[in-house]
Amino acid sequence: MAAQTKVAVIYYSATGITYQLAQAVCEAAGDAGADVRLRKVRELAPDEAIRSNSGWQAHHLETQDVPEAMIDDLAWADVAILGAPTRYGMIAAQLKQFIDTTGPLWAQGALVNKVCAAFTSSATVHGGQETTLTSLFNVFYHWGAIVVAPGYTENSQFVAGNPYGASHTSNNGETAPDSVALGAAALTARRAVHIGAALKMGLGAG
């Protein structure tokens, strides 16, 4: 059922933590049978800021071959899974800037009934993870999209603790996502693909 489901995983990551979550999302979506595109959004920070942080600079170089997201990637997708680190309890400006370019698709109704999900990371415990995810949901509601969250649909979620989407506390980029965070990312992807495939089949039959 999921073989024809097209998934766009669109993310921003500075030092690579959110990128690792994005990779887990892509892997799980692919394992679920979806056609997956991984896309990063454009970096807005000046080169001197990137060079001032060794982790940021290293990740910038590591992912230089990852294609940049275009609104055509959203138009193509049945399922869009967006991720970014939290900034003061909201999504990073780089992802917000990309979202602000989606007006033409929104105006055409091209985002209606897309299935959308989200993931995030923060430097500290309770550092705005839930508000970042729900702020992304506000965007999805405006699009007319259908929000899919992991909820507490598997026992692992009682350990992960975040029903809104996958999230991770990085301790200022020092701690890579563990099996709990990666498992939550995979669950988020599987649910989005499953619901996206079912919706696509149902709409096609109608």
Look at residue 204 in the predicted model and tell me its pLDDT. 73
CA dist., res. 157 & res. 160, Å (int): 5
Residue found by looking up tokens 């091209």 in the block: 110
Residues with Cβ within 8 Å of 193's Cβ and at least 6 positions away in sequence, in order, are 2, 5, 7, 28, 29, 32, 33, 34, 79
Residue spans of the chain under pLDDT 70: 1-3, 205-206
Look at residue 1 in the predicted model and tell me its pLDDT. 41
Record the tokens describing residue 52, joined without a space. Answer: 């001032």
CATH architecture designation of domain 6-205: 3-Layer(aba) Sandwich (3.40)
CA dist., res. 77 & res. 145, Å (int): 12
Report the amino acid identity of residue 194.
Answer: H
CA dist., res. 26 & res. 176, Å (int): 17
Q: How far is CA 175 from CA 38, 54, 71, 134, 196, in A?
A: 23, 15, 32, 24, 32
Q: What is the pLDDT of residues 123-147, one digit of tens each?
A: 999 899 999 999 999 999 999 999 9
Percent of the chain with pLDDT over 70: 98
DSSP assignment of 32-77:
TT-EEEEEEPPP-S-HHHHHTSHHHHHHHHHTTTSPBP-HHHHHH-
Instruction: Decide: helix, strand or coil at residue 81.
Output: strand
